[in-house]
């Protein structure tokens, strides 16, 4: 009889539970599942493979040390790791202390990003939304997201009003959400 292993979010929770017990193999499974997301975000922000590897190490080591930081009430693990990686990368880029405690990061996201196929579909959809986005809005959103620039800094670079920049950033994020039906 073939034993069915848990998939998706259930597999993540099982891995987290095993990590709480000190199961190193469970940590390796999570790494294999999500290292690409964590590393890709860090590499995009920092533009340096060695620095991105450091973020990768830091994020997973932090999870290993503090497996209780994540539970199902915080959303799905892939989204949580992606946001944590992005935030730590921005902190590194801007040479500042961590602005947000990982324990405070609660996430609500519609698509289930635990499965590889779901993530691939979501990635295509996000890239589609970004390609449809007005260049000025996409630029503001990406400067805020991948460079950690404040709306004041963005406005200074683009010459656009502060309020316009703030609104473009917000509506750009909402456009991503809308693409997934919420």
Partner 1 sequence: MSVHEQFGDDLALHALGTLPGEDRGALEKHLETCATCRRELEELRGDMALLALSTAGSKPPQRARERLLAAIADEPRAGNFPALTAGLEGVRRWVLLPWFAAAVLAVAAFFLWHQADRLSLQVADLQRKAVKQQGELERAREIVQTLTATDAMRVTLVAANTTPQPQGKAIYARDRGSLIFMASNLPAPPPQKAYELWLVPMNGAPIPAGMFRPDARGSVTLINPPLPAGLQAKAFAITVEPEAGSAAPTMPIIMTGAGE
Name residues contacting partner 1, limited to 19-38 (CB under 8 A): 20, 22, 24, 27-28, 31-32, 35-37
How many Å apart are CA 76 and CA 8, to the nearest integer? 9
Residues in 41-80 that interact with partner 1 by CB under 8 A: 41, 43-44, 49, 52-53, 56-57, 60-61, 64-68, 75, 78-80
SS3 content of the chain, % helix, strand, coil (to 5): 75, 0, 25
Q: Which of 12, 33, 86, 114 binds partner 1 (CB under 8 A)?
A: 86
Cβ proximity to partner 1: between 11 and 144 the closer is 144
Q: How many residues does the chain have?
A: 182
Q: Contact with partner 1 (CB under 8 A): which of 107, 157, 158, 160? A: 107
Q: Which of residues 129-168 bind partner 1 (CB under 8 A)?
A: 130, 141, 144-145, 148-152, 163, 166-167
DSSP per residue over 15-73, as a string?
Answer: HHHHHHTT-HHHHHHHHHHHHHHHHHHHHHHH--HHHHHHHHHHHHHHHHH-GGG--GG
Q: Which of 46, 102, 114, 122 binds partner 1 (CB under 8 A)?
A: 122
């Amino acid at each position: 009889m073939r034993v069915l292993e848990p998939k998706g979010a259930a597999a993540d929770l099982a891995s987290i539970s095993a990590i709480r017990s000190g199961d190193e193999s469970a940590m390796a499974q999570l790494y294999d599942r999500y290292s690409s997301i964590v590393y890709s975000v860090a590499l995009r922000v920092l533009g340096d493979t060695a620095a991105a590897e450091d973020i990768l190490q830091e994020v997973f080591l932090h999870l290993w040390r503090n497996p209780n930081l994540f539970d199902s009430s915080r959303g799905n693990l892939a989204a949580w790791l992606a946001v944590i990686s992005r935030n730590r990368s921005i902190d590194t880029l801007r040479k500042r202390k961590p602005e947000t405690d990982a324990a405070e990061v609660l996430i609500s996201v519609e698509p289930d990003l635990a499965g590889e196929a779901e993530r691939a579909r979501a990635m295509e959809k996000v890239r589609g939304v970004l390609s449809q986005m007005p260049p000025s809005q996409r630029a503001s959103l990406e400067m805020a997201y991948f460079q950690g620039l404040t709306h004041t800094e963005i406005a200074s670079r683009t010459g656009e009003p502060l309020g316009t920049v703030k609104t473009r950033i917000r509506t750009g994020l909402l456009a991503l959400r809308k693409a997934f039906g919420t």
